[in-house]
Amino acid sequence: MSIRISIAQVNPRLGDLQANLAIYEERIGQAAADKAQLLLFPELSLTGYMLRDTVPAVALKLDAPEIKQLMALSRQVAFVAGLVEESADHKFFNSAVYFEDGEIRHVHRKVYLPTYGMFDEQRYFARGDRVRAFDSKFGRLALLICEDLWHPSTIYLAALDGALAVLCPSASPLRGIVDQQSQDDNARYWELINRANAETYSVFMIYGNRCGFEDGVGFWGGSEIVDPFGARLVKARYYDEDFIAAEVSFEAVRRKRTMSPLLRDEDLDLTINELMRIRERPGAGIVRGRKTAKKK
């Protein structure tokens, strides 16, 4: 199946839901005019990224009026929104929500919240606890948010769960930039892992990064779509707003997996057994800050 996928590389306004909803509406209209069928927005693009203590003020429950507005917009084009989701028990998640034909079809809550360097996400957000592929009208997809994709387990799980394409909304900051002609250190690494993941797991990588500045932090843009053979189909500008699109044929996934059947040959029992062994070894009883039960 062939579909036209777009990425809206935007510069959202920090903490201004209404202004960012207007950006969404404009870009969704642009995608519809361009005959795109699926549109990816960056991480937290409905709210801005450097929210800190304002997280509760911009959080949305999935029955909020703004969510209903987004559901209506998805009748024009299916899209992924990046937002702060508030759960029924008042936890706040860095979430990516997939809207299609007037409905919410999938929600992914970011599972890896960075706490190094400039990042302090665990202070403000709760962690997601699952990685799942999901069925869309285009085929089976998966959502992973920025830091999620720096951990090999997430793309592995998504691919094994049948994803043909992985959509990654991101808010990746500048690191090591010298001037407008230089490539940022983060950009180099992201482009490396996007290509490596696409080729290794025979999936399309749809990577949507934001641009602009917030509270002195810059974001490098450079969104891209990479096919299962590692070929870049389209690339957005660095540092500036952009809107890109490419024709994506999932037949390429079939061809690549026929030529290189690595997923077919994966030994799940081996992986599960070895992970259980590692989990039970001395010193491994605390996982991600939580104690795990030990066998007696």
Residue 72 sits in the same domain as residue 200: yes
Query: Do residues 211 and 180 lie in contact, with contact meaning Cβ atoms separated by under 8 Å?
Result: no
Calpha distance 253→186 (Å, rounded): 27
Predicted pLDDT of residue 296: 39
Predicted pLDDT of residue 118: 87
Calpha distance 207→194 (Å, rounded): 8
Residue 79 sits in the same domain as residue 185: yes
**Confidence bin at 189 (pLDDT 50/70/90):** very high
Q: What is the mean pLDDT of residues 249-274?
A: 97
In the block, tokens 């777009």 appear at 6
Query: Do residues 172 and 209 lie in contact, with contact meaning Cβ atoms separated by under 8 Å?
Result: yes
In the block, tokens 């096919």 appear at 227
Residue 192 sits in the same domain as residue 62: yes
Residue 83 sits in the same domain as residue 195: yes
Is 50 exceeded by the pLDDT of residue 252? yes
Residue 72 sits in the same domain as residue 183: yes
Cβ neighbours of residue 17 closer than 8 Å, sequence gap 6 or more = 46, 47, 58, 60, 66
Predicted pLDDT of residue 285: 56
Residue 237 sits in the same domain as residue 162: yes
- What sign results for the dihedral spanned by CA atoms 150, 123, 127, 6? negative
281 or 181: whose pLDDT is higher? 281
Q: What is the mean pLDDT of the chain?
A: 94
How many other CB atoms sit within 10 Å of the CB of residue 44? 30
Residue 201 sits in the same domain as residue 288: no
Residue 280 sits in the same domain as residue 202: no
Cβ neighbours of residue 3 closer than 8 Å, sequence gap 6 or more = 37, 38, 138, 247, 248, 250
Exposed/middle/buried for 270, CB within 10 Å: 0-12, 13-18, 19+? exposed
Predicted pLDDT of residue 295: 44
Calpha distance 49→118 (Å, rounded): 12
Residue 99 sits in the same domain as residue 227: yes
**Confidence bin at 294 (pLDDT 50/70/90):** very low
Query: How many independent structural domains does the chain possess?
Result: 2
Q: Using a cut of 0.85, tell me whether the model's pTM lies above it.
A: yes
- Return left, alpha or beta for 76; rule: phi > 0 is left, psi -120 to 50 is alpha, else beta: alpha
Query: Residue 135's domain is classified under what CATH number?
Result: 3.60.110.10
User: Which of 152, 159, 161 lies closest to 193 in space, CA to CA?
Assistant: 152
Calpha distance 294→191 (Å, rounded): 40
CA distances from 29 to 22, 34, 48, 273, 289 (A): 11, 9, 21, 49, 44
Is 60 exceeded by the pLDDT of residue 287? no
Calpha distance 51→37 (Å, rounded): 31
What is the full DSSP assignment across 214-240?
Answer: ETTEEEEB--EEE-TTS-EEEEPPBSS
Residue 295 sits in the same domain as residue 189: no
Domain, as residue range, for 256: 2-262
Is 80 exceeded by the pLDDT of residue 181? no
Residue 212 sits in the same domain as residue 289: no
Residue 58 sits in the same domain as residue 187: yes
Q: What is the mean pLDDT of residues 246-268?
A: 97
